[in-house]
Structure 1
Amino acid sequence: MVTTCKIIDLGKIEYGAAFELQKQAVREVMADKSTTRVYLLEHPPVYTIGRAGGEHHVLVDEQQLKQLGISLYEVDRGGDVTYHGPGQLVGYPILPLARWGNDVRRYIRMLEEVVIRFLREYGIESGRIEGLSGVWVGNEKICAIGVKASRDRAGKSFITSHGFALNVQPDLSHFTHIVPCGIVDKGVTSMQRLLGREVPMDEVKRGWVRSFAEVFEVQCVWKRVAV
């Protein structure tokens, strides 16, 4: 059975507002699993700390954060600290996992596969590192993944939230003020750095959606929303 999935393009949106949208969306999908959706967006500069992290992996204090213009949030996804900012494609799939085996680890591997296939279209060979989430080019992470799986009202299946952050052409210097994902011996990279040119964000969104539709075997319906 082919599932229809809404792709909701939010453009640029503050992290806190997007977080509230996700929580509302999870409640809606719990009530009606046909309302499957993916939010695609960019955030102003922000560090987020997941359940496995701590502020000790943020290497600057509150005053320095203000000077840098970077916000800080503690959130309920898995993983440690990461950065979101302009030039980074962020995606928040709100999906009922029963459609995909109700397996969170499998779901994370599928999100990785979407990005791996997408990057291959640009001649970028990427992959996984055993024991670590995300997508890597050598020892440099190009896409971070951190998800939350909430049980539905019957307690039988999971609804996903949070998701992935693909470095298209963000300010990579902002990663130097944290220990990304709590990993001290790996770096970060971007499509722009690897290709030596800018990559239009709309082009990236369209390519990611094509790859997502292929991996998840869904039919995508695109919608842009002004927020």
Structure 2
Amino acid sequence: MPMLEAQWLARMDYGIAWELQKKLIREIDREESSEALLLLEHTPTYTIGSDRHPEHLLYGKEELARRGISLYEIDRGGDITYHGPGQLVGYPLLYLDAVGLDLHAYLRNLEEVIIKLLADFGISGGRKPEYTGVWVGDSKIAAIGVKFNKARTRRGFVTSHGFALNVKKNVEQEGFQGIIPCGITEFGVTSLETLTGLEWQVEDIGRRILPYFAEVFGYAVPTVIESLSS
């Protein structure tokens, strides 16, 4: 089985993580680095993807500054979402060969990883056909937004961006009230702690997701998450 390098980056500013993704994409394309899954938390941040709707951001610049929330317009698909402490963010940086390439299936596979993880907690996660992401009933627990970067040295793509799984209860209140998440007004958000009634550490959930990611994408299970920052 192919190997995957899993890295736990702890809590990191969004801009730093974005630049790290770009660096690793170039290295993976040139076969100078292994394919990787970056797992981390972000400081409070709103990101707006290529499907831009400025009206879905409810805070002005002064309110963002007062609350200490950063704002980035980025190159993934999708609309606006929130990242912050208490949320497990995963950035798979994988090479997808052009032969038999199915980009839609890649998104469904990311959802499947999270659905399998939730089942481990006795939670029935699912999909809504009109939306990307993972849902429990009518509440969204994980957002997904990706970019397919055309490889320069090989025929195919290197993936970037990825998924954001709400782990701790505080995520529901601390950021989502300032946006219309992904432009969806009729449904809410939830978290692993809300659904289980138990407390969880984000890094522990990052470790628990690894075997499901390896199973769905066909990698050997990484045994160690490298702690690159504290």
Q: Give the TM-score taking structure 1 as reference length.
A: 0.95
C-alpha displacement of 1:154? 4.7
Q: What amino acid is the match of 1:198?
A: E
Q: Which runs of 5+ in 2 are unaligned?
A: none
Aligned length: 226
Identify the residue that residue 228 of structure 2 maps to in structure 1.
225
- Supply the distance in 1 between the matched residues of 2:33 and 2:25 (Cα, whole angstroms): 12
Identify the residue that residue 11 of structure 1 maps to in structure 2.
10
Q: What amino acid is the match of 2:125?
A: S
Q: Deviations over 1:12-59 (max 9, x none)?
A: 110000000000011011100761001000001100000002321100
Q: Please give the secondary structure, in 1, of the residue aligned with 2:209.
A: helix
Do structure 1's residue 64 and structure 2's residue 63 form an aligned pair? yes
C-alpha displacement of 1:181? 0.8
Q: Deviations over 1:144-202 (max 9, x none)?
A: 00000011115731110000000001431210110101111111100111111211223
Identify the residue that residue 190 of structure 1 maps to in structure 2.
191
* Structure 1, 110-119 or 169-178: larger mean CA deviation: 169-178
Taking the TM superposition and a 5 Å limit, the aligned residue runs for 1:67-146 are 67-98=66-97, 101-146=100-145
Taking the TM superposition and a 5 Å limit, the aligned residue runs for 1:20-35 are 20-32=19-31, 35=34
C-alpha displacement of 1:141? 0.5
Q: Deviations over 1:93-123 (max 9, x none)?
A: 1000129942211011000000000000001
Alpha carbons of 1:192 and 1:99: their partners in 2 closer, same or farther (altered >3 Å)? Answer: farther
C-alpha contact (below 8 Å) 2:8/2:203 kept by paired residues: no
Identify the residue that residue 172 of structure 1 maps to in structure 2.
172
Q: What amino acid is the match of 1:214?
A: E
C-alpha displacement of 1:67? 1.2
- Supply the distance in 2 between the matched residues of 1:15 and 1:93 (Cα, whole angstroms): 16
Q: Please give the secondary structure, in 2, of the residue aligned with 1:153.
A: coil
C-alpha contact (below 8 Å) 2:87/2:167 kept by paired residues: yes
- Supply the distance in 1 between the matched residues of 2:49 and 2:127 (Cα, whole angstroms): 21
Identify the residue that residue 204 of structure 1 maps to in structure 2.
205
C-alpha contact (below 8 Å) 2:88/2:167 kept by paired residues: yes
Alpha carbons of 1:56 and 1:28: their partners in 2 closer, same or farther (altered >3 Å)? Answer: same
C-alpha contact (below 8 Å) 2:27/2:33 kept by paired residues: no
* Structure 1, 181-190 or 71-80: larger mean CA deviation: 181-190
- Supply the distance in 2 between the matched residues of 1:106 and 1:90 (Cα, whole angstroms): 20
C-alpha contact (below 8 Å) 1:53/1:182 kept by paired residues: no
Q: Please give the secondary structure, in 2, of the residue aligned with 1:3.
A: coil
- Supply the distance in 1 between the matched residues of 2:99 and 2:64 (Cα, whole angstroms): 40
- Supply the distance in 2 between the matched residues of 1:45 and 1:56 (Cα, whole angstroms): 19
The CA RMSD measured in Å over matched residues stands at 1.6
C-alpha contact (below 8 Å) 2:24/2:33 kept by paired residues: no
The alignment-based identity, stated in percent, is 46
Q: Which runs of 5+ in 1 are unaligned?
A: none
* Structure 1, 83-92 or 150-159: larger mean CA deviation: 150-159
C-alpha contact (below 8 Å) 1:33/1:96 kept by paired residues: no
C-alpha contact (below 8 Å) 1:90/1:163 kept by paired residues: yes
- Supply the distance in 1 between the matched residues of 2:32 and 2:166 (Cα, whole angstroms): 30
